[in-house]
Structure 1
Amino acid sequence: MHNTHQIADLPSLRKQKILLLLERDGKVMASELVDHFAVSQDTIRRDLGELANAGLLQRVHGGALPRPKDTGKDYFTRVSETNEIKMHLARLAASRAQDGQIVLFDSGTTTLQIAQSLPRNLTLTAVTSSPLIAVALAEHPHITVILAGGQLNPATMSATGHEAVRLIQGIKADLLFTGVCALHPQIGISSLHYNEVAVKQAMLDSASHVVAVTLADKLGASEPFVVAPCTRIHTLITEQSVAPGSVESYQQMGIEVVQADD
């Protein structure tokens, strides 16, 4: 970024420029914006906060990301929208499943696509708290499906509560496929929904190997409710086009990072 002193004291123009930089780069860092506009950290922090409150970007530690494209959309709307990148990531994840395994499927549209991407000849036992994932897996002739029950969360279309947690705690799985609302090197895995935290934690505790699948805009982001540290993930599958430096911190934790070819 290059210094732009002439607009440093014009807040409205500065915020417009921040949005343009965000659109161009896919991410903005507060420290770089301070240098770019020759203003204080407090000024940039205030600008980012005002833009976030207006719903124009998503605040993350040290900067900001674009608002997720599915913000405000219900589960079925998100399921119906085709995303070629997400489908490609789902196929990469599905290739990790092996015959004879016990596999946990977390809730979410990404894990639903993973379930739909499994080979038809694969033989395994699948455990999930998502009725829609259970239905998708039931179409596979060689997959035994165990559905955890409990109170249904309409936002995620998954079961929550003590019943679901107890069932998952009683299973020792070989593999967990999990989508993530947000993943931050320091904050960890976090969720937008409090009532799904316990189920996600139980799944992480019950799996020998955890595969997390996420688009680039979830990296470096955070949501209100922390699930677990990043080190609970063994393999992270994400897209090739990520902001510079987005994956190195996860690799330094010993996480295998797989970036899909564009």
Structure 2
Amino acid sequence: MHDQHSAAELPHLRRQKILLILERDGKVMASELSQHFAVSEDTIRRDLAELASAGLVQRVHGGALPRPKDTGKDYFTRISETDEVKMQLAQLAAQRVQDGQIVVFDSGTTTLQIARSLPVDIAITAITASPMTAITLSEYKGIKVILAGGQLNPATMSASGHETLRLLAGIKADLLFTGVCAIHPQVGLSSLHFEEVPVKQAMLDCASHVIAVTTADKLGAVEPFVVAPCNRVHTLITEQHVASGNVEDYRALGVEVVQWVG
């Protein structure tokens, strides 16, 4: 009771503890925090509003989620940087591709790395809306590349719009490597870019098996635009050590979780 009383009297201390609970659980609810700290829900809502204003949390109905991590780097800066973890995850993902498959590659630097990690003698049909990924895939003699057209988004270097959606609607793919901006057990896959949402949804609809490959910092995070619930993902490939939330939350939703042991 002493801790609860101290937290109730010192708002800054209570807010620090809220952040610790958020880091541990991946989500906080105002009703639960009210009971935990023995203060009113209005008080907790003010705490969450202050934390959100400081850019430390993202408000959602009834509580808050971790703030998505934005590196502030553009696409070409990100692909030029060597990330050992991302390379290892991409190699794990590339092992899932089999000869004769039709494979959809979403946009994103991780998905581009998967394309770079395929076996040199692989023979597949690849579909992508990312020109950079298409160029990489075209270097393989056994890969037939189909590039979806549309308006190019400079932020993601990927096409979107009616032309992109029309092409994807006519495809029945074996496998999709979906790009991950953020993934949360309750919220699902979400994106920073509104125009990406219908393209990502169309990709999910056209593939028999969906693989999401992501570094641990995107687990438990949420971006403004929701794409789909987590159960649309069949396999999640990520790091062994996860700071935010618990990979068991994804397994409980029926997602196969594969963790790279570095």
Q: Deviations over 1:142-186 (max 9, x none)?
A: 222111000011111100001011111111111000122222333
Give the structure 1 partner of residue 137 of structure 2: 137
Aligned to 1:260: 260
Mean CA deviation greater in 91-100 or 78-87: 78-87
Cα RMSD (Å): 2.8
State the TM-score, normalizing by the size of structure 2.
0.85
* Corresponding residue for residue 177 of structure 2: 177
Q: Which has the higher contact order (CA 8 A, sep 6+)?
A: 2
Measured in 1, the distance between the counterparts of 2:217 and 2:29 equals 17
Instruction: Say if 2:67 and 2:222, in contact at 8 Å, map to a contact too.
Output: no
CA contact under 8 A between 1:184 and 1:220: conserved in structure 2? Answer: yes
Matched to 1:113, the amino acid is: Q
Partner of 1:199: 199
The residue number in structure 2 matching 1:52 is 52
Letter of the 1:86 partner, please give it: K
SS at match of 1:8: helix
C-alpha contact (below 8 Å) 2:57/2:64 kept by paired residues: no
Name the CA distance, whole Å, in 2 between partners of 1:228 and 1:194.
13
Higher mean alpha-carbon deviation, 144-153 vs 43-52, is at: 43-52
Cα distance in 2 for residues equivalent to 1:252 and 1:139: 39
Question: 1:231-242 residue pairs with structure 2 within 5 A?
Answer: 231-242=231-242
Distance 1:157 1:12, change over 3 A: same
TM-score (norm 1): 0.85
Determine the C-alpha separation between the residues in 1 that align with 2:70 and 2:108: 15
Q: Which runs of 5+ in 2 are unaligned?
A: none
Give the Cα separation in 2 of the matches to 1:133 and 1:256.
26
Quote the Cα distance in structure 2 between the aligned partners of 1:124 and 1:14: 55
2:127 and 2:34 map into 1 onto residues whose CA distance is 48
Over 3 Å counting, the alpha-carbon distance change for 1:28 and 1:137 in structure 2 is: same
- Which shows bigger deviation, 48-57 or 85-94? 48-57
1:34-183 equivalences under 5 Å are 37-59=37-59, 63-65=64-66, 67-70=68-71, 72-183=72-183
Please report how far the alpha carbon of residue 105 of structure 1 lies from its aligned counterpart in structure 2 after TM superposition.
0.2
Residue identity over aligned pairs, in percent, reads 68
CA distance in 2, matches of 1:60, 1:246: 20
1-side partners of 2:33 and 2:84: how far apart? 32
Gaps of 5+ in 1: none
Separation of aligned partners in 2, 1:231 and 1:26: 20
Structure 1 window deviating more from structure 2 (41-50 vs 153-162): it is 41-50
Indicate the residue corresponding to 2:246 in structure 1: 246
Q: What secondary structure sits across from 2:152 in the alignment?
A: strand
